[in-house]
Each structure stands twice: as C-alpha cells, then as structure tokens.
Amino acid sequence: HDEFKKRWFELRGGQLAWFEDAGGKYKGEIDMASDECKQVRVSEAEGASQFEVEIVFGPRTYRLETENTDAVQQVVKKCSYG
C-alpha cells in the first residue's frame, strides 16, 4: 500500500506518537527502544526530501518527513540507542 496519509508526529522520550494533525486525535505510537525497531535511516526513496527518514519496525517501513536536520538526528538516535 503506497498511499501516504499526512500525520503529525511527536517524539516523547522513547516513543514516537502520531496524530491526525497537530493537536488532533491520537492514532498510535512506535516504541523506538523495542527490538522490533530494526533500523532508522535517512530515506533514499525516489522523490524523498532531505529531511525524510524511514523507520523499519517489524514488517512495516514508516516514512516520515521531519522539519529539519536536527529532527532527523533525534529520530535516528532514539531508535539506535533507545
């Protein structure tokens, strides 16, 4: 399924929570310290922005666009080090 849905993400400690939009309905979360969090990388997908990351979590790969390079580094660090 390649259709994107726009969501708002917040990194809260070791959890990456997502919402319908800023201040919107809670939709779920990823435990970044979980063994299921296999890899976080800067996205190399065709058409990806410079601030896009991919999180490989179990069988799924989530693609997120962050606001800046610092945010990319924070997401990568949380998965890599818990």
What letter does residue 44 receive in the DSSP assignment?
A: -
pTM: 0.73
Q: Express each pLDDT in 23-58 by its tens digit.
A: 899 999 988 888 888 888 888 888 888 889 898 888
Q: Are strands 37-42 and 60-65 parallel, antiparallel or unpaired?
A: unpaired
Task: Provide φ and ψ at 45, rounded to 5°.
Answer: -65, 150
30 - beta bridge partners? Answer: 16
pLDDT range class, residue 64, cuts 50, 70, 90: confident
